[in-house]
A and B are shown apart, each in its own frame.
Chain A
């Protein structure tokens, strides 16, 4: 009941913002079989902010992003990016897939992966010029991977691979950065490096949306949260939205009182924990 009320309450303001929103999703529904993975989800991302998509395992976080981008075909739903269709705005979007979604044994070098981000500029047969290489190298410097440019990607650690993916996104010079679990299985140094880059993007007026797993860092890293558990649970600023009630709604009984306490959030009441 509370879930539906929240959705209705969010509707009126979100429609007004839709034209300016870097990413506005309406009625997104995706199914892998009989059961929907994402059901009738609305999302309106605030420009110039860092938004975390959170929710339990299997809640449809990655699926929502993939469907919004057209990587997966949704059953229903529309996506607009800065008020226009995704296909019209591809040049403004940079997507970083889950690291585990690709085969890192692929025969290519770090610099070549970053250059893939320049494909929209290069086209089918355009020559890779020194300016393109300089650009790719600059992106590697921003993620601290410049010394690995000629390494085969399979020789990197998980954290290094994730930074290469981020460098490829930087090469795209986008306005909207969508990252699927950028901190999954990375070392502490990489996590620090990535969040530093993402915050600098935000400070430059870009919009960052990341599927995020670690509830303990949400408040520290992000401005806004979007909670999902197949359906939209809540969205808004961390201070007002990342609270006990919405987390209970999203995670059900899966978050124990002790975990809530670790997040420095007040438990709902004694009977629910």
Chain B
């Protein structure tokens, strides 16, 4: 494939996919270790009603109202989950399951009842996103990367996801030690003066920012997968958190690239005419990577079953 075809058609969706995958996988490492992996799942579901409400209020599909609506819904969900957990005295996973399915279902109903036929907002879009539609019309080839006029025509999702990735990565880098210490031993972390509750909340907010920013471009399926699959696969590759995060970034990027290519060309290779959803394929590939590491990862056996070396 040459540049004049690749750059306008595939470069932007592929990069966006990579940024989404990495931005979700980074906080996912800590969420998985804190046994809060479902939070990512919850957030990516609850943004739907938030986005629909934002659309009903403003009447347009535009970035900022949608992001605000989604963020508002995420906050409502976090508070509701905590309320159900504490008042009902039930396990966090169950509380999340109750809240996010209820809110997502509410969002679907709202979406069906409201007149969104004129705009690009439907249930399918919410699930799969629309990675393939991120076409860079102004690009003519690799040289367009240095052409300011062409760069101005980049789909807005790409720079938005890039900024999100930078914000999430900076948060993880700056608060690395408190995140690591409080994830391992919260009691000890408090005795040395760490605000563990605030830190936990900040981590969830970072995950929410990644999920909301990713939602529009890629839908909720890929977000759910990326919070869990790359970090879980990475955990099976190493016994050091520093290396685990590195592996998770590599796995996330790999899933995005392989998934995108397989979705676009895989069906053609085996004789089908149409391509399949890139978001769905990326999520599937990340699951396959997890499956492979579970079979052959060097640190898949731990505790008593681990070989002592």
Minimal beta-carbon separation of B100 from chain A (angstroms)? 25
Q: Which of A106, A120, A124, A152 contacts B184 (CB 8 A)?
A: A106
Which parts of A100-156 form the interface with B (CB within 8 Å)?
101-109, 112-113, 116, 119-120, 122, 124-125, 152, 154-155
Assess the B235–A95 pair: CB atoms within 8 A.
no
Query: A262 contacts the other chain (Cβ, under 8 Å)?
Result: no
Query: B113 contacts the other chain (Cβ, under 8 Å)?
Result: no
Assess the B238–A107 pair: CB atoms within 8 A.
yes
Assess the B303–A95 pair: CB atoms within 8 A.
no
Minimal beta-carbon separation of B240 from chain A (angstroms)? 6
Q: Which of A101, A104, A108, A120 contacts B180 (CB 8 A)?
A: A108
Q: Is the interface of A mostly helix, strand, loop or mixed?
A: mixed
Contact status of A97 and B188, CB under 8 A, knowing A90-B193, A154-B306: yes
Query: A69 contacts the other chain (Cβ, under 8 Å)?
Result: yes
Given A71-B191, A120-B193, 8 extra CB contacts under 8 A: A71-B190, A95-B187, A103-B184, A106-B184, A107-B239, A108-B240, A108-B241, A124-B175
Query: B177 contacts the other chain (Cβ, under 8 Å)?
Result: yes
Query: A93 contacts the other chain (Cβ, under 8 Å)?
Result: yes
Among B193, B235, B306, find the residue whose CB has the most chain A CB atoms closer than 10 A: B193
Q: A116 vs B183: C-alpha distance in the bound complex, in angstroms?
A: 12
Contact status of A105 and B303, CB under 8 A, knowing A119-B192, A124-B178: yes
Q: Which residues of A contact B192 (CB under 8 A)?
A: 90, 119-120, 172
Q: How large is the interface on A (under 10, 10 to 19, 20 to 34, 35 or more residues)?
A: 20 to 34
Assess the B184–A116 pair: CB atoms within 8 A.
yes
Query: B162 contacts the other chain (Cβ, under 8 Å)?
Result: no
Residue of A nearest to B237 (CB): A107
Query: A252 contacts the other chain (Cβ, under 8 Å)?
Result: no
Which parts of A69-105 form the interface with B (CB within 8 Å)?
69-71, 87, 90, 93-95, 97, 101-105
Q: A172 vs B192: C-alpha distance in the bound complex, in angstroms?
A: 9
Can you give 26 A-B contacts (C-beta < 8 A)? A69-B190, A70-B191, A90-B193, A93-B191, A94-B191, A97-B185, A102-B184, A102-B185, A105-B302, A106-B33, A107-B240, A108-B241, A109-B239, A112-B240, A113-B184, A116-B181, A119-B181, A120-B192, A120-B193, A124-B175, A124-B178, A152-B240, A154-B239, A154-B302, A155-B308, A168-B188
